[in-house]
Amino acid sequence: MITRAKDKICEVKDFPKPGIGFKDITPLMQDAACYNYVVDRIASWAKKKKPQIVAGIESRGFLFAAPVAHQLGLGLAVIRKKGKLPRKTIYFKAPNEYAVEYFEMHTDSILPSQRVLIVDDLIATGSSSISAIDLVKKLGGKVVGFASVVELVFLKGVDCIRKAHPDVDILTLIQFEE
């Protein structure tokens, strides 16, 4: 099933800017069997980590974090781009492949020492992932795992995450070597 899921992902050349090969996951999600398989795999892996809450990264990470949280019977915290949340927040600089952005969370979304699973759709350079982990830790959470559907291996993002946060277990389901 993992091969079928990988085959569903389309590369869109020069999006969102020239030189970028964007991995479009929407065809994977349109295939119910593939989408459910991916969510089930993440939830199965995460259950062993005993998280107390799931945090999803805007915006495509929400598409996987929400059903994983549901399967695990947990709540969902959101990591959003700065300026999108209505109550008191904290933020963290979140550079990515395209620009420098800021991630933020409500100050009450993670409790001190709460065990947190972070879910995103894709790891590229790892900078957004590192920023999300830093943000959860800034709120006092303990990141017990970081799960992503796709890893762009050639950008070495997982290596960067492990260097910055060696205490965080990482799961990636589908790898692209180029």
* 1-45 pLDDT tens trace: 999 999 999 999 999 889 888 999 999 999 999 999 999 999 999
* 86-131 pLDDT tens trace: 999 999 887 776 677 889 999 999 999 999 999 999 999 999 999 9
| Domain chopping of the chain, boundaries | 50-176
pTM above 0.85, yes or no: yes
State the fold for domain 50-176.
Rossmann fold (3.40.50)
Query: Contacts for 61-70 with beta carbons within 8 Å, 24 or more apart?
Result: 61/119, 61/120, 61/121, 63/25, 63/29, 63/121, 64/38, 64/39, 64/119, 64/120, 64/121, 64/147, 64/149, 65/119, 65/120, 67/39, 67/43, 68/39, 68/42, 68/43, 68/117, 68/119, 68/147
What b/e string do you get for 41-65 counting C-beta neighbours within 10 Å, with b at 16 or more?
bbbebbeebebbbbbbbbebbbbbb
